[in-house]
Amino acid sequence: MIIRLLIFFACLTAALHCFSQVLPAPGAKLNYTQVMFDYKKVKGAPLYLVRVEEIEDSISPADENCSFEQTDPATATLITGLEFGRKYRWQYAGIKPGQEPEWNGPYNFEITQDTLIDKNIMTLEVSVNDSTANAGGLIVNDCTHTIVDRNGKMVWYLTNINWKFNIPKATLQTDILPTNRVSVNKPNEAGPRFEVKPAIYDLRVTPFGTITCLEETNANPLDSMGNIRPVERNLNCRVLWTPPKGGRVSGNMSEYYNHDFKHLPNGHYMVLGNENWRKIPAYHDTAAFKKKYPQTQYINGRLYGRVEFGTVIEYDKKGKVVWSWNGEHYFDSDALSPVFYNHKMDVRLMPHVNAFGTDRKNEFVYVGFRDISRIIKIEKATGKVVDSWGGKTLTAGNPQHAVLFHQQHDANILDNGNIAVFNNNDYPGHDSVPSAIVFSQQATDTGYVVWNYNFDLDKRTRRLSRTGGNVDVLKNGNYLVCLGNLDKMVELTPDKKIVWQAEIKPNRKRTFSYFHRLYRAHYISSLYPCYFCFQTDNDTVSKRSPKFNIRLFNKGSEPDAYNVKVSTATGQPLLQFSTDTLQPNRSDMIPFIAVKRLHRHEKLIVTVTSQTNPDFERRSSVWVGK
């Protein structure tokens, strides 16, 4: 019993000191220039002053010393405009009326330089930036592994990665990537291609303020597609979550993760996978075998046949599979590896899963198949396909509703229930125009296209947009469209006016071309969509009148609501409720009055938790005096 009590109080003390340190911590090395400064409460101070100064021996010294001063009533404040390759010192003071500030600090930190930017391999050029009409905020792209502002200036980059730089021996006009996606080099490129490994796909900032992506790892012996893993990191790129190893759902050595990975609002993780290889029975009919498995290989003495059944896997935080779906149950089971024919070329096609989306209640999952131009709707409770959209085929499971997209990417389910896709419109050997399409799934007009935009570029350029791409709807109603391999990102108003446009370009002065591809791009309001702090107006209250106020600050860039609990040190609850939604950069005052008689020297624990991110919790204490 004594040991359990000691463990309890040790855990309690650790929790109370979770945010008692200053951030950035002394000696911190950051990979971003939007920095949230978090500091201790100063008793009796209604206002705080934060001062940041550049240290003279910075890695990339500026022409003049750069300093920032900012006041804030909260114990956290966001400062932007810092620079990569610079060293800084910072300090803070509580401002009390009629008194000189008492400074805390200074604390030193530095912002490191990105390897890719330092090598000057590529640039992001912004050609249109209508700040009065676009949504502002930041743009995340997986091609450069960075987050940029609307001027194209980098504010964050992916670090803690063992980057490898190499120039392949052969430079081909068209190459098959490890993920079976085709990337076409830009015409008239001269010299060898410069590759950066590992490749990163579907980089995004979650509403929780974490970073997720699909990251290339060491190749799996079964298939090169087995070398992709989903990863969640914090802002400093420390790994927070990866799925367990092995192929529990696929039945293979790997789940063959690919294309799409999301941290769901309920805290779970969902990712696409594949069943790519199937063990062949010891005795089989040769003719039927060749029809079902045109591609085979021996692995560890066992014969495997090539299939491609897309899978969707949902994990909880501990890595346990809580739901999954296998495309085998939807496609023609007699074929095992379903056959779709291009009648002009008489070639075999796989369905090739490449996107998924979920509804807001997490009751349905929408899965996109590129090579058969189809999106299906799966009811999670039963695993049945209840609806589908896309082009017509001659196979079982035809779409119920025709929508004119072809070889599409993305399957983004919008707040109003509409579905957004990037229509690559890729017909091999034929010219075609890519487009962004938003269509309805309402029972009255399902399949009806409510918005679309044709990217009628010149013939040479638009053929580069054959793979990748996505469509996001922003909070101002605009559309952010990634054009995939074309390496362009565009923000459009509902009336189709371009209000922001950027393109990733290799450095023309280099003697080699950088082999890169833009797969997806996403919007985020800031590096801190979810962030808060709070403070009590008193650290000690009287036994007879244990009243104090809790002032809560939303320092994130998105609205949030909070769960507030006041309890005794032994865990007895005194007050517990949820707040209304608090807008960014707003505060709320919450009064506390004890409903039970408190004892002298009793400690009260105030706990506040974000409803957006239940793992984000802060604690503080108030003592009861005489």
Note the pLDDT tens digit of each residue in 386-434. 999 987 554 445 567 889 898 899 999 999 999 999 999 877 666 678 9
Residue that finishes a domain, picked among 69, 85, 113:
113
The mean-pLDDT minimum among 159-173, 389-403, 587-601 falls in 159-173
- Answer with the residue of higher pLDDT: 332 or 576: 576
Residue 326 and residue 438 share a domain: yes
The one-letter code for the residue type at 552 is L
Q: What is the DSSP string of 99-142?
A: S--EEEEEEEEEEPPPHHHHTT-EEEEEEEE-TTTS--SEEEET
Of the pLDDT bands very low, low, confident and very high (cuts 50, 70, 90), residue 286 is low
The mean-pLDDT minimum among 21-25, 66-70, 304-308, 614-618 falls in 304-308
Residue that finishes a domain, picked among 97, 113, 129:
113
- Asked if the bond preceding 506 is cis, omega within 30° of 0, the reply is no
Which tokens belong to 29?
Answer: 């090395």
Distance CA 557, CA 531 (A): 8
Mean pLDDT of 250-259: 87
On the question of pLDDT at 240 being above 80, the answer is yes
On the question of pLDDT at 220 being above 80, the answer is no
Biggest CA pair distance of the chain: 93
Looking at the domain assignment, is residue 11 inside a domain? Answer: no
pLDDT of residue 32: 97
Mean pLDDT of 555-566: 97
Distance CA 263, CA 234 (A): 13
Distance CA 620, CA 607 (A): 7
Residue that finishes a domain, picked among 113, 128, 147:
113
On the question of pLDDT at 296 being above 90, the answer is no
Comparing C-alpha atoms, which of 529, 491, 584, 519 is closest to residue 136?
491
Please give the tally of structural domains in the chain: 3
Distance CA 387, CA 411 (A): 14
Query: What's the mean pLDDT when you consider all of the chain?
Result: 82
pLDDT of residue 303: 79
Mean pLDDT of 438-454: 93
Comparing C-alpha atoms, which of 554, 614, 608, 550 is closest to residue 581?
554
Highest mean pLDDT pick, 36-40, 505-509, 515-519: 36-40
The phi, psi pair for 530, rounded to 5°, reads -130, 110
Looking at the domain assignment, is residue 63 inside a domain? Answer: yes
Residue 588 and residue 505 share a domain: no
Residue 223 and residue 136 share a domain: yes
Looking at the domain assignment, is residue 185 inside a domain? Answer: yes
Distance CA 87, CA 100 (A): 28
Looking at the domain assignment, is residue 4 inside a domain? Answer: no
Residue 370 and residue 418 share a domain: yes
pLDDT of residue 140: 97
Residue 120 and residue 108 share a domain: no
Distance CA 133, CA 116 (A): 31
Residue 185 and residue 99 share a domain: no
Residue 229 and residue 372 share a domain: yes
Of the pLDDT bands very low, low, confident and very high (cuts 50, 70, 90), residue 5 is very low
pLDDT of residue 506: 74
Looking at the domain assignment, is residue 381 inside a domain? Answer: yes
Looking at the domain assignment, is residue 266 inside a domain? Answer: yes
**Rounded to whole angstroms, what are the CA distances from 435 to 212, 371, 403, 439?**
27, 17, 13, 13
On the question of pLDDT at 4 being above 70, the answer is no
Residue 129 and residue 91 share a domain: no
pLDDT of residue 217: 80
The separation between the first and the last C-alpha atoms of the chain, rounded to the nearest angstrom, is 31
On the question of pLDDT at 166 being above 90, the answer is no
Report the CATH number at residue 542: 2.60.40.10
Distance CA 461, CA 418 (A): 29
Residue 301 and residue 217 share a domain: yes
User: Residue 68 belongs to what domain range?
Assistant: 20-113
Residue 415 and residue 302 share a domain: yes
